[in-house]
Structure 1
Amino acid sequence: MTKAEDKLTSLDDEIISPNGPEGGEAHESESALALILRTFLENKLAIIGLALVVGMAIFCFIGPLLYHTNQVSTTYAINLPPGKGHPLGTDENGRDVLGRLMVGGQSSLEIGLAVAIIATLFGVIWGAIAGYVGGKVDSVMMRIVDVFLSIPSLFLLIFLAAAFTPNIVILVLILSFISWLSPSRLVRGEALSLRVREYVKAVKIMGGGPTRIVVRHIIPNTIGTIAVNATFQIADAILVLATLSYLGLGLPPPAASWGEMLSNGVNYIYDGYWWLIYPAGFAIIITVIAFNFIGDALRDSLEVRLQKR
């Protein structure tokens, strides 16, 4: 390693916050992290959101290990009301609704988390490059984003879902395709501000290239925006997946999802079979609200940190 590379690495280690070298001591970073954590934990809605998400994850992934049901074969015990042996009754195919709620939640949470990771990762890279490079590159990259944003998302979703045979991988890719646009715009805005900071200029003077600056400084200093957006991305993906499943463009049978359960239950809305509709609808609402609580609390915590600078 050359002396110049040595100095760059040392400078990278010193710059751990947007305040630059003069404000980037380790103890300050720890204090900022402690402030964010304390503010987050003081938010009652954040605690409720965390509890709901953890509870839903336990319900969906551990529940089926304790409550065994057959979610593949149909039976003659169709549309049974809640009672002994079936706490939430059975559906139109005789499958246990409680068990199906658990299994359906697995796919909903898995797809929501996968979409949030992929869309956020791609959007962050796209936005960071566009914001840092600027000029014509930024203009072209953001016009591409604008073009996709101008297309009604529901129309695009229906078209893509109808064009490809839905499965978990395809749905993740489709939802990610329309979800990366928002984080790219957010990170691009942050990058435009960060690229003129003193510590970025110092890295340039030391010979640091664009890749090092984007990876080591621009992206890490947008982590707050990224974290907040990711929580909302999960909630949005779960909601959009439910919409696609409701329209019959979700996972094919016998795979289960909350949206598919709602879609099937609507056929019996006037027959009094409330257990075919309310449990799935309640699960979707609770999960989306929980992630929104967490996202709002993260945003408030980061705003407190910025005010304390």
Structure 2
Amino acid sequence: MSITDDLNPDLEADLLAPLPTGLAGASPEGPEGGDVSGAGSAWRLTLRAFFDNRLSYAGLAILIVLVLFSFVGPLVYHSDLYTATYNINLPPGPGHPLGTDSSGRDVLGRLMVGGQASLIIGVLSAVISTVIGVIWGAVSGFFGGLIDTFLMRIVDVLLAVPTIFILLYLASIFRPTVLLLSITIAILSWLGAARLVRGETLSLRSREFVRAVQVMGGSRWRIIRRHIIPNTISVVVVQATFQVANAILLMATLGFLGFGLEPPAADWGSMLSQGVNYIYDGYWWLIWPAGILIVLAVLSFNFIGDALRDAVEVRLQRR
């Protein structure tokens, strides 16, 4: 086997161990090629800066409440969410704390189930889009040249296409499900992560620890997998957090426009859309609860994302 094919992980660690401090560290496993203790210190610094930010507590508190409301709530509060009754548009009262909708279904129970769909779609689409964007951006930035030009022109073209129109078109063709909506939103939302990771990769590929692995014959894919992608994790996590908020908002928009989950399944956007039909009839319980939950969900992830971004900036400033 040629040494240019790949490196034995143990051999690579041994060869990098005696490198001087000017080559950014003694082992490729830590951030920026630093040692493991350096990696631990960097992450501890990031976490400390994160929890020093009051926005982190606000975001986490709201998120925990929403998760408990959506996933634990239905186990405690039981109601028939799928059978239409004649108790339509009842105001909040005994038996129905938030009233009933135009089909006689309990609003509070549907808000809980709708929260499950919104949060699952938001998180799942963010994970998928982040994975796609990280791989795309790392390959584009590391290989450069024609590959970089070709891949980034694809990104530029897709960025020029309004996302909501594509989502509406796909939702009108296929039967919306949680999985389908998650994949669809993810496919149209990875572009920001790709551009971000490409920029980080362009900076990292010229660092001494990456050049050291190249000199020792490390393959390009190994460098990307073991050294480039791990060193972009901090900014990627921040991007993914904002992506969850964006996905929840897109999901709510689709539901509001009538392209959300099909009844009797519930999502906050669809419930808000149904409630707007009665906006002049004084049925506030059909509008405000769903709208408030959407705002709180988006705010929670934005608060967490802002706190993470500030924490990452603190870590970068102290390098």
Q: TM-score, normalised by structure 2?
A: 0.93
Correspondence for 1:15: 28
Could you tell me whether the CA contact under 8 Å between 1:245 and 1:260 is conserved in 2?
yes
- 2:192 is matched with which residue: 160, 182, 200? 182
Residue-by-residue CA offset, 1:55-75 (whole Å, 9 max, x unaligned): 100110000000001111001
Q: How does 1:95-244 map to 2 (within 5 A)?
A: 95-244=105-254
Closer/same/farther in 2, CA of residues 8 and 258 from structure 1, 3 Å limit: same
Distance 2:209 2:264 in 1: 55
Distance 1:177 1:28 in 2: 36
Report the residue type matching 1:163 in the other structure: I
Report the residue type matching 2:12 in the other structure: L
Residue 84 of structure 1 and its aligned partner are, at CA, apart by 1.0
- 1:79 is matched with which residue: 69, 84, 89? 89
Report the residue type matching 1:118 in the other structure: I
Distance 1:87 1:19 in 2: 54
In the alignment, does 2:303 pair up with 1:290? no
Distance 1:298 1:94 in 2: 43
Correspondence for 1:55: 65
Distance 1:258 1:17 in 2: 42
Residue-by-residue CA offset, 1:72-109 (whole Å, 9 max, x unaligned): 10011110101111111111011111111000000000
Could you tell me whether the CA contact under 8 Å between 1:18 and 1:194 is conserved in 2?
no
Consecutive unaligned residues of structure 1, counting only runs of 5 or more, are: none
Residue-by-residue CA offset, 1:93-126 (whole Å, 9 max, x unaligned): 1111111100000000001010000000011000
Residue 18 of structure 1 and its aligned partner are, at CA, apart by 4.5
Structure 1 vs Structure 2: percent identity of aligned residues? 57
Residue 28 of structure 1 and its aligned partner are, at CA, apart by 2.1
Could you tell me whether the CA contact under 8 Å between 1:111 and 1:168 is conserved in 2?
yes
- 1:267 is matched with which residue: 277, 284, 299? 277
Once superposed, what is the RMSD of the aligned Cα atoms? 1.6
Work out the number of aligned pairs and report it.
306
Residue 169 of structure 1 and its aligned partner are, at CA, apart by 1.8
Could you tell me whether the CA contact under 8 Å between 1:242 and 1:260 is conserved in 2?
yes
